[in-house]
């Protein structure tokens, strides 16, 4: 075995040998190669991720933060919310069903390892636009549905978008949210010298070997040999038993520490537990239960077989924990013990095959230096040439926007998910944010995951900022108070200087957004090398993509502010600045030059004031419905509110009274940051207008809703008016328009983000 076989660079190997004072054995080399891989060590991003640390005041909200399996926020005196975003990208291209399914199982176990009961899932997906899309998309969605539905955790929200860079590099970022009592908090740091390490769950097989060090830590190359054995295979029924067994074992008070087995299997789990608990470990691979008896010690240490957890238990308590495992019909293996010498020793056949200092494994890899880049000031987006915007032009543009896969209905995805299991879901897929009831709490839990990558394509910093703003706005418009964030950072190869700078700018943008909105980042995930070497030798990389998961407290879960128009006799108002941002817009892709450029950066003081106005208006009862402006601009936001209404006969009359600066196209289709469309009663409109003036927030009435007509009409003054039947736009949005090509994303069954509820 050579260093290159396990992914170590020559410099890293020299550092390893010098640290040991000798040449490593093959088993040692395999373990170090896995734990020093990009996927496990975060060696290219760890220094940059320190920029995300919240200031001391915000950190007071955290019950657990970066470094743990998942972050935790204090929700109330008796409840903490545990949550994290995790990725499973490369495996989901190689084997879409199993790759996505095990991504769900893995993030559930991350939350479980914190002593929390998993209560919901959300998914953020990116697919290509070429011939691979049907295979990958259908497999990923089926895998998520199969695992989440069977394990009994509702999938309550998420989003989907499409782009050329995701053709062979799909992104599968899954967020799991759990709950725990503060007294039930546990992690990997509580093991004592003398504790035994118990492996609970499924037997160990050959699946997933090399998943972390080879599949997830380098660019995909279609010319390589079959990579499917590197993809883990999940079993949600065993996963369900494992969740119940671990929670029951923790309830006995006899488990000192817990660590899930994910990337790099036993190697990572044992090293992380030993590191956080400041102990050594002697591990006997002969005691590990196997599905395949011919596995070598190195394969046993690196197997990523699913549905396994590691528990640290005092010798006197092993029998009690074994009894709990037996109640749930799960095997339990006593595979090691905690020692005082700080070494990870792997034994087989009575002899030591590896003896490695734990700090060398978890903190010994040389880190890539990250210098925080300087932010260019005053970015207002890329100027884009636009047509005059006549009534006929506007009518066709509106149609193109509503049928575009980044705007169109996402029902074909979320209808495959069980969003109501456990009966706690108040608002599920299709809304700006999902809302759940929590037993014993007056307040509800609002959750969302979002992050349009188009906004990062030309300026990664702006993309990171706007991903945070998008997620937080989605919580605010349903009436929730944002509490915390988890980030999923996805980028190409850090070995490419330009891509590495994009990575640093993306992280810096997320950090700036979180600080500007005063919402702490609790942790997250980084996935790199999301690029593919094509058959003709080109390297195709994804857009830098920040996926933001956010949780919030909703004071009245029985009165969630809807996106849908509530009925007739209300006015529509647009709150926020009219920047006319078309640089990285859906309009530019669907009706413009087809390019993706630079998006406008947020005006943070104004964005905060807009969010405040919305929160005050919802609390005061002025705002009856709200929807943030995102893909497709104000035009898409208004249309989605209209199509979501339970009153199919409603008519919407849009009118500005004058041609806005820049014309109709930027006004209606610009994706301006921090803008919200709201519905108010005419009697409350003066109160809203007065509050806008007081808060120095631009805002104006843009239309009214009438009881009948089932039409949307946009008055253009002397240019006339553009109008659309509800049935016409509904067909386009659902992907039922006969003009749509059968292979186009969304054709026949809808695509795009989690849009309005159907």
The position carrying tokens 């660019």 is 219
| Other beta carbons within 10 Å of 21 | 6
Looking at the DSSP bridge assignments, the partners of residue 732 are: none
Q: Return d(Cα 49, Cα 587) in angstroms, integer.
A: 33
Tokens matching residue 428: 């599920």
Contact 554, 445 (CB under 8 A): yes
**SS3 (DSSP) at 547:** strand
- Nearest-10 Cα torsion for 696, 700, 701, 703: -140
Tokens matching residue 316: 């006197």
Contact 353, 346 (CB under 8 A): yes
Angle subtended at Cα 594 by Cα 734 and Cα 126, rounded to the nearest 5 degrees: 55
Contact 64, 484 (CB under 8 A): no
Q: Return d(Cα 663, Cα 388) in angstroms, integer.
A: 7
**Residues with catalytic function:** 39, 88
Distances (CA, A) of 699 to 247, 426, 477, 574: 50, 31, 16, 6
Phi, psi for residue 460 in degrees, rounded to 5: -65, -35
Q: Return d(Cα 26, Cα 73) in angstroms, integer.
A: 42
Sign of the C-alpha dihedral computed for residues 408, 148, 514 and 481 taken in this order: positive
Distances (CA, A) of 111 to 72, 249, 589, 632: 9, 15, 38, 35
Q: Return d(Cα 68, Cα 112) in angstroms, integer.
A: 12
Contact 621, 686 (CB under 8 A): no
Q: Return d(Cα 559, Cα 506) in angstroms, integer.
A: 36
For every residue of 250-312, DSSP letters joined together read: HHTT-EEEEEE--TTHHHHHHHHHHHHHT-EEEEEGGGS-BSSTT--HHHHHH---SSEEEEE
């Amino acid at each position: 075995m050579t260093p290159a076989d396990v992914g170590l660079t020559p410099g890293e190997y020299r550092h390893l040998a010098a640290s040991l004072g000798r040449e490593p054995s093959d088993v040692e080399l395999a373990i170090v190669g896995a734990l020093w891989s990009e996927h496990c060590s975060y060696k290219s991003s760890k220094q940059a991720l320190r920029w995300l640390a919240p200031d001391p005041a915000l950190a007071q909200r955290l019950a657990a933060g970066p470094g743990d399996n998942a972050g935790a926020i204090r929700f109330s005196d008796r409840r903490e919310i545990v949550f994290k975003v995790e990725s499973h990208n490369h495996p989901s291209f190689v084997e879409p069903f199993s790759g996505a399914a095990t991504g769900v199982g893995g993030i559930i176990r991350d939350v479980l390892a914190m002593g929390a009961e998993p209560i919901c899932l959300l998914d953020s997906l990116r697919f290509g636009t070429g011939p691979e899309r049907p295979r990958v998309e259908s497999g990923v969605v089926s895998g998520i549905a199969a695992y989440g539905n069977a394990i009994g955790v509702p999938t309550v929200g998420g989003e989907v978008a499409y782009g050329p860079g995701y053709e062979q590099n799909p992104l599968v970022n899954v967020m799991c949210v759990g709950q725990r009592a503060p007294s039930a908090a546990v992690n990997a740091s509580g093991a004592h010298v003398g504790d035994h390490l118990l492996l609970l769950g499924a037997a160990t097989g050959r699946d997933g070997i090399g998943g972390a060090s080879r599949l997830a830590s380098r660019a995909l190359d279609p010319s390589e040999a079959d990579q499917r054995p590197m993809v883990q295979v999940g079993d949600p029924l065993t996963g369900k038993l494992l969740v119940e067994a671990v929670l029951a074992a923790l309830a006995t008070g006899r488990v000192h520490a817990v660590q899930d087995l994910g990337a790099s299997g036993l190697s990572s789990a044992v090293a992380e537990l030993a590191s956080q608990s400041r102990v050594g470990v002697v591990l006997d691979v002969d005691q590990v239960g196997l599905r395949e008896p011919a596995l070598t010690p190195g394969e046993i240490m690196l197997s990523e077989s699913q549905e396994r957890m590691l528990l640290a238990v005092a010798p006197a308590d092993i029998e009690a924990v074994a009894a709990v495992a037996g109640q749930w019909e799960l095997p339990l293996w006593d595979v090691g013990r905690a020692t005082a010498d700080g070494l990870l020793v792997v034994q087989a056949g009575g002899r030591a095959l590896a003896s490695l200092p734990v700090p060398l494994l978890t903190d010994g890899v040389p880190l890539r230096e990250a210098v925080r880049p300087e932010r260019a000031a005053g970015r207002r987006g890329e100027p884009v040439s636009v047509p005059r915007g006549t009534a006929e032009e506007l009518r066709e543009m509106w149609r193109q926007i509503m049928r575009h896969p980044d705007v169109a209905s996402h029902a074909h995805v979320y209808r495959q998910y069980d969003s109501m299991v456990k009966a706690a879901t108040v608002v599920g897929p299709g809304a700006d944010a999902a809302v759940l009831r929590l037993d014993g709490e007056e307040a509800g839990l609002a959750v969302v995951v979002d992050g349009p990558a188009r906004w990062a394509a030309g300026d990664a910093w702006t993309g990171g900022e706007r991903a945070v703003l998008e997620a937080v706005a989605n919580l605010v418009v349903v009436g929730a108070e944002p509490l915390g964030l988890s980030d999923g950072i996805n980028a190409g190869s850090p070995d490419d200087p330009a891509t590495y700078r994009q990575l640093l700018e993306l992280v810096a943008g997320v950090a700036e957004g979180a600080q500007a909105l005063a919402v702490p980042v609790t942790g997250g995930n980084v996935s790199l090398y999301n690029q593919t070497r094509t058959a003709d030798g080109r390297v195709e990389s994804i857009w830098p993509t920040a996926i933001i998961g956010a949780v919030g407290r909703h004071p009245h879960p029985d009165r969630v502010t809807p996106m849908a128009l509530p009925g007739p006799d209300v006015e529509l108002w647009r709150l926020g600045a009219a920047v006319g941002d078309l640089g990285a817009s859906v309009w530019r892709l669907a009706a413009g030059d087809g390019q993706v450029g630079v998006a406008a950066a947020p005006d943070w003081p104004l964005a905060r004031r807009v969010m405040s106005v919305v929160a005050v208006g919802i609390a005061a009862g002025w705002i009856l419905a709200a929807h943030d402006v995102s893909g497709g601009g104000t035009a898409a936001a208004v249309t989605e509110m209209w199509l979501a209404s339970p009153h199919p006969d409603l008519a919407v009359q849009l009118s500005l009274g004058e041609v806005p600066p820049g014309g109709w196209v930027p006004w209606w289709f610009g994706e301006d940051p921090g803008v919200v469309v709201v519905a108010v009663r005419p009697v409350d409109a003066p109160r809203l207008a007065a509050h806008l003036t007081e808060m120095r927030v631009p805002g104006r009435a843009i239309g009214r809703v009438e009881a009948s007509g089932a039409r949307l009409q946009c008055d253009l003054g002397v240019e006339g008016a553009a109008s659309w039947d509800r049935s016409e736009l509904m067909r386009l949005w659902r992907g039922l328009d006969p003009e749509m090509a059968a292979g186009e994303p969304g054709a026949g069954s809808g695509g795009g983000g989690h849009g309005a509820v159907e």
